[in-house]
Every structure is written in structure tokens, then in C-alpha cells.
Amino acid sequence: MSKCEVCGNHKFRRQEVEEVFHIDGRYVLVEHIPATVCLQCGEKTFDAETAESIRRLLHGQNKPQRSTVLEVFAF
Ligand SMILES: [Zn+2]
């Protein structure tokens, strides 16, 4: 990837991130995902292999490591 799809910036950083996914009516948080993060706008991009691993993780029989309460605000 050479250019941010959101802001057009060319500088990125490899970083572990966390991301909330909406799966079958519930929200799940995945931690420690290796991502490429835009230095300008913070847009997170996962490579195809990582995205596939996340998909398998969320749709497989894996038990979550732990549970937490998600607080939701309406803007
Ligand atoms: Zn950007």
C-alpha cells in the first residue's frame, strides 16, 4: 500500500491495534491486530492475510479470551 485511501497521505506505521466488529447482532473486540496505520488520519488497514485470520477467529468456534462491558453513546 502506497497511499491512504482516506486522506491520500503516503506515510504509514506498522502498529498493533484493536478494532470492534459487529457480528450477528453483537459487538466483539479484537486486540493486538497487526495493522498499517496512516500517520495523518489514523486510518487502519489490515492486509488480506490478517483480515482472513480475523474472519476465521470471529466465525470459528473460538471462545473469547475475556468479556467486557461496552458502553454506547448516541451522538
Ligand atoms: Zn490517511
pLDDT bucket at 2, cuts 50 / 70 / 90: confident
Residue 15: which H helix or E strand, with range? strand 12-23
Q: Which residue has the higher pLDDT, 62 or 39?
A: 39
The CA 1 to ligand 1 mean position distance, Å, reads 12
The CA 4 to ligand 1 mean position distance, Å, reads 5
The confidence score (pLDDT) of residue 42 equals 96
Measure the CA–CA gap between 39 and 8, rounded to whole angstroms. 11
The confidence score (pLDDT) of residue 20 equals 93
The CA 55 to ligand 1 mean position distance, Å, reads 24
Q: In this model, does residue 1 exceed pLDDT 80?
A: no
> How many Å separate Cα 55 from the centre of its chain?
11
Decide if 33 contacts 22 (C-beta within 8 A).
Answer: no
Domain boundaries in the chain? Answer: 1-75
Top-tier CATH class for 1-75:
alpha beta
Provide the CB-side half-sphere exposure for 8 (13 A, CA): 0
Tens-digit pLDDT profile for residues 29-52: 999 999 999 999 999 999 999 999
